[in-house]
A and B are shown apart, each in its own frame.
Chain A
Amino acid sequence: MTYLLGIFQTIGVHTLLGLSAYLLLLTGQLSLAQVGFFAIGAYVSGILTVIFTWNIFPALAIGAFTAGFFAFLVGFPALRVKGLMLVVATISFSEIVRLFFFNLSWRVNVNGLEVGPDSTQGFREIRYFAANGWEQIHIVGLIWFMVIVVMLALWWLDQVRAGAVLRAVGTDELAAQSSGINLTMVKVAAMTGGGVIAGIGGGLFAHSTTYVDHHTFVILLATFAVSYPIIGGLRSVMGTLLAVIFIQGVIVEGLRFMGDYRNLIFGLLIILVMNLRPQGLLDGHLLEDLKKLLGRLTKGEKADA
């Protein structure tokens, strides 16, 4: 049971990470800064609950806000230039954040214990949940509550004008610009939103694992974050969730018996999926087919009644 809850925990956190990349990918931009925002969320909310002994909820909120603020700051110079430059700029940003926390040492005495980030040793004492009598099921509940809130928000975004604007920028920048859309503003807004989502994810991650260090926040995690929405497909938020379940649940957990070879398979799988389904697993055609099927099923039920 603990094992199963652990998997749910990982899938939840990774879904948040994937959704934060999804939002920016809608505008056609690939950002590897998500792991930087994730790290900022993790460290800021961790520092607030550990050093300043805050409650978890305001700490998560401030962590998410800080991550969003940095996303906004990075967004301006990075998104003024296009596409591939952004990949380079965001990799650099994530590495700056990682190296900053790698060098950050801020040890203080709280209730007779020395706590806080300890540069290369990592940040070890994020025990808010254990100290306040939360059980694992509550933690998993909180993570999935956040996942559902974010997914609903992103789904709702597609029902209103803002979603159409995002997708318009992603489909054809020139056409979107000609219709009077401010490209930079839309992209920076998407970047900021993605930063907030990643910040929430980071805060939840830090508190559910009780320990973070700079090794957690390498570029590998950023590539995971963008691979979920790209492999899942950008047509629907469900694609990201499906990809996370497929990669974390099936490949990482299900193939544990294969040991080392699992990582080899991961790389090959990405190449294979991209060649066979460049639009992602859950692309437009499949989504239409599913809708038709669903429509036929409900029609059939009505006819029976």
Chain B
Amino acid sequence: MNFDHIDIIQSLIDGVLFGSIYALIGLGFTLIFGAMHKLNLAYAASGIAGAYAGLMSLTILGLPALMAFFIGPITAGIIGLLLYFACFRFMPRGNHLAPLMASIGALFFIDEVIIHETSGSPLSFPAVLPDAYFFLGEFGIRGDLLIVMGFSFILMAIVMLLLYRTKLGLGTRATSQQPVAALLCGIPTHRTNGTTFVLAGVLGGFAGCLLAASVGVLSPLLTLPLTIKGLIVTVIGGLGSIRGAIIAGFAVGAAEGLFLLVRGVNERDIYVFLLLFLFLVFRPNGLFGTTINRD
């Protein structure tokens, strides 16, 4: 097979545009991990559940299509808070296995509720701009993916502002560095962690809606791939590094686009996963991870 540079650059463009969704999910995983040093495996599922709620608001309440992008993230934020209470709030601090296992249980539960309610069949999701497709020189660019990317940039900027410019962000960062010291300084750590879960949930809801809008369908089959890709982005970016998660999101998207071109859709994910192992062997702390090898 022969590819000229146009094919390669084209698939890189598509990949990077799509990678903004991975960056959002990776950012959410990183926020939660940064706050509690625990992994919430039900996170991507809560984002997809939010997208379903958004879709339901369109089909059942007959709201305009854009409303899905409000209802979805809000629902996902609420689910995020529920997940915090169900899987993390009451667990012993030193125990890492129990909350992880509980979040796996929550992942199944959310997945099964969706399958039960939709009889397992995919639903079509309204596209943002179905006909927008324009050319930049020789390269075609999907307008809706461009909007997805712009939207993600705005969200990332908001998250950064929240974390580094507000009192809430100060509390979150303090709790993440030293939970006990933060508590002694009068920071309500439980409330701070809860807020982080809501914030991450809202991000996940946006990511879920954006994913559904750019793929065109919403299906429970999306949750596991999104979870795994989000985790890979988190690890490649460096656990707990926000900047790393964003950059790794775009990088993984680009790599995925390239593998899709070279090896086809059936084998694409194999190479994405092998990429993760390359990082584990040669750069176990990821792109921007701290050298402290914490859990």
The chain A residues found within 8 Å of chain B, CB to CB, are: 25, 28, 30, 77-78, 80-85, 87-89, 91-93, 95-96, 99-100, 102-103, 218-220, 223, 226-227, 230-231, 260-261, 263-264, 266-271, 274-275, 278-279
Interface of chain B residues 79 through 126 with chain A (CB within 8 A): 86-87, 90-92, 95-102, 104-113, 115-116
Q: 29 A-B contacts, Cβ less than 8 Å apart?
A: A28-B97, A77-B281, A80-B280, A80-B284, A81-B293, A83-B96, A84-B33, A85-B235, A88-B228, A88-B235, A92-B232, A92-B276, A92-B277, A93-B273, A96-B270, A96-B273, A99-B267, A100-B270, A226-B101, A230-B98, A263-B115, A264-B116, A267-B105, A267-B107, A267-B111, A267-B112, A270-B104, A271-B105, A279-B98
Give 17 A-B pairs besides A84-B100, A263-B115, A270-B102 with Cβ atoms closer than 8 angstroms.
Answer: A30-B101, A77-B284, A80-B280, A82-B295, A84-B33, A87-B41, A88-B235, A89-B280, A99-B267, A219-B224, A226-B104, A266-B105, A267-B108, A270-B101, A270-B108, A271-B102, A274-B87
**Cβ contacts under 8 Å, B91 to chain A:** 274-275, 278
Inter-chain CA distance A270–B106, complex, in Å, is: 8
User: What band does the interface of chain B fall in when counting residues whose beta carbon is under 8 Å from A?
Assistant: 35 or more
Closest to A219 in B: B224
Inter-chain CA distance A218–B225, complex, in Å, is: 11
B294 within 8 A of A: yes
Closest to B276 in A: A92
B274 within 8 A of A: yes
Closest to B281 in A: A77
Given contacts A85-B235, A92-B232, A274-B91, contact A223 B104 (CB under 8 A): yes
Inter-chain CA distance A83–B267, complex, in Å, is: 28
B202 within 8 A of A: no
Inter-chain CA distance A119–B108, complex, in Å, is: 27
Partner of A274, one of B102, B234, B293: B102
Inter-chain CA distance A278–B97, complex, in Å, is: 8
Secondary structure class of chain B's binding surface, majority of residues: helix
**Cβ contacts under 8 Å, B109 to chain A:** 264, 267-268, 271
User: Chain B 42-72 against A: per-residue CB contact (8 Å), 1 yes, 0 no?
Assistant: 0000000000000000000000000000000
Task: List 8 tightest A-B contacts by C-beta distance, closest first.
Answer: A270-B105, A267-B109, A267-B108, A278-B98, A92-B273, A274-B102, A83-B295, A88-B231
**Cβ contacts under 8 Å, A83 to chain B:** 96, 295
Given contacts A96-B273, A99-B269, A102-B266, contact A274 B101 (CB under 8 A): yes
**Cβ contacts under 8 Å, B97 to chain A:** 25, 28, 30, 230
Output the residue of A84, A100, A223, A227 with the most chain B CB within 10 A: A84
- By the criterion CB–CB under 8 Å, are A278 and B270 in contact? no
- By the criterion CB–CB under 8 Å, are A278 and B106 in contact? no
User: Chain B 221-237 against A: per-residue CB contact (8 Å), 1 yes, 0 no?
Assistant: 00010001001101100
B39 within 8 A of A: yes
Inter-chain CA distance A231–B101, complex, in Å, is: 9
**Cβ contacts under 8 Å, A219 to chain B:** 224, 228
Least CB distance from B205 to A in Å reads 20
Closest to B99 in A: A274
Given contacts A96-B270, A99-B267, contact A263 B98 (CB under 8 A): no
Least CB distance from A259 to B in Å reads 10
Inter-chain CA distance A51–B77, complex, in Å, is: 53
